[in-house]
Structure 1
């Protein structure tokens, strides 16, 4: 398992990080210990563009995966745990699921009971998430690996058809194998990210 201090060093390339203590959590369920550790030790904070909004969190480059600051994490549950239009609980959303980040509204979910990270597609009519990582530190390290490839490629990342260039995908795959330990898992991870 990757340490949060290493992940912090990688995440720092994507925006401001700040230690966020557990008392910033405003959810209706207890904050899972691993998530509390993530926010204390990594602490995605982000820039403040409007004072009335506050910090917006960080996005990992071209992956479009966004992490809110801890005090906004409970609000991220709207549209998943409860219907954002009427506040009613979504019946098929399991109590042990907590959205920790999203990619264009597709949630990455911490399964509080198992510690696994799941991913689901929004707009399909039901929530049917699949496992993407065995735990939050592994998942965050894998995301950082792909995000750093994007960041370092900069404007050279995509070809004229707006597809990821093969050499950058190969580099991301290589870095993911180092994190996940398995080429097939790394390939599946890239497919989920549509990379």
Structure 2
């Protein structure tokens, strides 16, 4: 099955902002489509993202496991376990040709959908326990990067994020939602995304 036509890339200004935000957490550098390790065509939005944002191996600390970005030369290999079985190499039937895993939090993928440009995630139950198809969460790759970096910025600045009974403080939860709202432009979206990212008490 051939993938659908690709959506346009985010604007250069949005990608530049995403690059600046991600550079705080790790290496970023221009990467060209020739570094893509597959004969399948690289979606134009992904090509633009790696040229203008260019994550290397970047970890953004957050609650639980960090958000992990990887370089273009490793992007195809990181599809293992999602596009195909790690054990047998067989193609997994519930994976769409239109999808590419672009970042991870533990075993939970952030999935770029070439035809729409959106980034999809599973629900709050996580990838392995999902009951439904992944849903659009971020409008595009730039918004995803800015949102994850905004959460990472809050987490890095939280000296003592937990109460005595190991619950997240209301202050940290509020800051995470506020940082996401600054990127996403909506309190409702910010709360929903925070909960998908593991901040389950966000409101």
TM-score, with structure 2 as normaliser: 0.83
Give the distance between the partners of 1:125 and 1:61, measured in 2 at CA: 24
Aligned-residue offset at 1:86: 0.6
Aligned residues: 183
Deviations for 1:102-146, whole angstroms, at most 9, x for unmatched residues?
Answer: 111111101111111101233237772111112111121111111
Which has the higher relative contact order, 1 or 2, with Cα contacts under 8 A spaced 6 or more apart?
A: 2
Aligned-residue offset at 1:160: 3.9
Give the distance between the partners of 2:52 and 2:167, measured in 1 at CA: 34
TM-score, with structure 1 as normaliser: 0.86
On the 8 A contact 1:93/1:127 being kept in 2, the answer is no
Q: Partner of 1:173 in structure 2?
A: 177
Name the structure with the higher helix share. Answer: 1
User: Over the residues paired in the alignment, what is the CA RMSD in angstroms?
Assistant: 1.8
Long gaps (5+) in structure 1: 46-56
Deviations for 1:6-58, whole angstroms, at most 9, x for unmatched residues?
Answer: 1111111111222212211112421111111211112111xxxxxxxxxxx11
Determine which of 101, 112, 115 is the counterpart of 1:113: 115
Determine which of 73, 85, 94 is the counterpart of 1:83: 85
Q: Partner of 2:38 in structure 1?
A: 27
Q: Partner of 1:146 in structure 2?
A: 151
On the 8 A contact 2:45/2:114 being kept in 1, the answer is no
Q: Partner of 2:163 in structure 1?
A: 159
Deviations for 1:159-193, whole angstroms, at most 9, x for unmatched residues?
Answer: 34443322122112112112111111100000000
Select between 81-90 and 57-66 the one with higher mean Cα deviation.
Answer: 57-66
User: In structure 2, do the counterparts of structure 1 residues 78 and 5 end up closer, same or farther at CA, with 3 Å as the change threshold?
Assistant: same
Q: Partner of 2:139 in structure 1?
A: 134
Give the distance between the partners of 2:118 and 2:144, measured in 1 at CA: 9
